[in-house]
């Protein structure tokens, strides 16, 4: 019922999100201070979260894991119990308004029950967490890796626990209350240093600010780690296929950094793609690692222009043309459209969904 009812109003999702936030701020006016002045990106985040939950309703273990991470992450906003109640009231009001005559007692019961489980999972995870709600991090280095990509190295005040391949929410002083998700490009270290790669996207308030205006000495705030991309010796079934598009390569770099410290490595084939050769800003670093690591194979992929030893086309096309990838665990990272297209192609080729890992919320 949740899937079918959401499909009825998905074409009106922008208007639904706008109505939802209006209702939320009426029910709980103090919630408005938790959000930035402009709400456009925040509305898109709500839609992506709703779509993700709708997609995962029949995979409760994965959904509860995600909701637990989300609950711990929301501690940085000082969210309290009544805020969850207010969100539930606003969500049901918005769904009822847009579904109109299709808002039946059965549909209402399904959504009310679902939101109750969502709020319960988030509340319990937040209440069980004893670590910091957020970490301060001082910028140590800022330099350009390409025309529109910058490397930013920070050191946290206290160690922020995370697994290689995960991501964290970030708030920068130039854009207060605009939280964005970024993945460290390095495996955890004992000195608290994290390295991020950030691309300035057109119209990106935060990404443009980071690439163009961040300076050493700036103090960032980081939320707790999230994500499902990781590789552990006990979880790896065999060979690994990694697929990274643009700065989506960042969490995969962190995993490779971690793998390089293992005594025995699974064979890894990494596809790194971009529209043009200059978009593959980390290719030389990857090739240097591959030259000293027999377990790693790197294939660059470009849609326009050619690279030595590379493939032409989309990542989805290049990967499926190179092999069947049986007995591979697959990690996919990039923009939401790239992830969607690539996962669809892999599923069409018969790869089990249980062997494919991706995070749909890492890019804005």
Q: In the predicted model, is pLDDT for residue 363 greater than 50?
A: no
* pLDDT at residue 319, rounded to an integer: 94
Q: In the predicted model, is pLDDT for residue 210 greater than 80?
A: yes
* pLDDT at residue 40, rounded to an integer: 67
What is the dihedral angle through the alpha carbons of 157, 162, 167, 170, rounded to the nearest 10 degrees? -10
Q: In the predicted model, is pLDDT for residue 43 greater than 90?
A: no
Residue 285 CA to its chain's centroid (Å): 23
* pLDDT at residue 364, rounded to an integer: 38
Q: In the predicted model, is pLDDT for residue 299 greater than 90?
A: yes
Task: Transcribe 39-106 into DSSP letters.
Answer: -HHHHHHHHHHHHHHHHTTT-HHHHHHHHHHHHHHGGGGT--HHHHHHHHHHHHHHHHHHHGGG--HH
The sheet carrying 180-182 orders its strands as 180-182, 168-171, 219-222, 135-144, 149-156, 193-199
* pLDDT at residue 274, rounded to an integer: 94
Q: Long-range contact list for 33-42, CB < 8 A, 24+ apart?
A: 34/77, 34/78, 34/79, 34/177, 35/177, 36/175, 36/176, 36/177, 36/178, 37/177, 38/205, 41/178, 41/205, 41/364
Structure confidence at residue 146 as a pLDDT band (50, 70, 90):
very high
* pLDDT at residue 234, rounded to an integer: 62
Considering only residues 210 and 263, tell me which one the structure prediction assigns the higher pLDDT.
210
Structure confidence at residue 310 as a pLDDT band (50, 70, 90):
very high
Percent of the residues in the chain that have a pLDDT greater than 90, as a whole number: 62
Mean pLDDT, residues 152-161:
96
* pLDDT at residue 197, rounded to an integer: 97
pLDDT tens digits for range 221-248: 999 999 989 898 766 567 999 999 999 9
Mean pLDDT, residues 274-299:
95
pTM of the model: 0.84
Residue 70 CA to its chain's centroid (Å): 12
Structure confidence at residue 286 as a pLDDT band (50, 70, 90):
very high
pLDDT tens digits for range 60-77: 788 888 889 888 988 888
């Amino acid at each position: 019922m949740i899937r079918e009812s959401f499909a009825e109003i998905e074409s009106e999702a922008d208007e639904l999100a706008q109505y939802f936030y209006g209702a939320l701020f009426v029910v709980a006016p103090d919630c408005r201070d938790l959000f930035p002045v402009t709400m456009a990106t925040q509305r898109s985040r709500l839609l992506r979260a709703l779509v993700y939950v709708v997609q995962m309703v029949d995979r409760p273990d994965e959904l509860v894991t995600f909701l637990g991470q989300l609950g711990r992450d929301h501690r940085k906003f000082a969210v309290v119990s009544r805020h969850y109640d207010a969100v539930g009231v606003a969500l049901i009001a918005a769904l009822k308004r847009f579904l109109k005559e299709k808002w039946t007692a059965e549909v209402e019961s399904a959504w009310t029950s679902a939101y109750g489980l969502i709020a319960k999972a988030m509340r319990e995870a937040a209440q069980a967490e004893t670590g910091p709600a957020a970490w301060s991090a001082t910028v140590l280095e800022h330099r350009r890796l390409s025309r529109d990509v910058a490397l930013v190295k920070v050191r946290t005040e206290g160690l922020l626990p995370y697994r290689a391949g995960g991501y964290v929410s970030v708030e920068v002083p130039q854009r207060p209350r605009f939280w964005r998700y970024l993945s460290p490009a390095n495996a955890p270290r004992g000195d608290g240093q994290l390295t991020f790669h950030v691309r300035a996207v057109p119209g990106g308030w935060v990404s443009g600010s980071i690439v163009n205006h961040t300076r050493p000495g700036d103090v960032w705030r980081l939320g707790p780690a999230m994500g499902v991309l990781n590789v552990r010796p006990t979880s790896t079934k065999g060979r690994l296929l990694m697929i990274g598009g643009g700065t989506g390569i960042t969490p995969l770099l962190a995993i490779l950094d971690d793998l390089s410290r293992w005594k025995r490595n699974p064979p890894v084939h990494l596809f790194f793609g971009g529209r043009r050769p200059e978009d593959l800003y980390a290719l030389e670093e990857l090739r240097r690692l591959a030259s000293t690591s027999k377990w790693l194979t790197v294939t660059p992929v470009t849609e326009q222009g050619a690279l030595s030893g590379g493939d032409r086309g989309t990542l989805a096309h290049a990967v499926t043309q190179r092999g069947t990838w049986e007995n591979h665990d697959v990690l996919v990272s990039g923009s939401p459209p790239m992830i969607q297209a690539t996962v669809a192609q892999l599923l069409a080729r018969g790869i089990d969904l249980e062997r494919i890992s991706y995070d749909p919320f890492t890019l804005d």
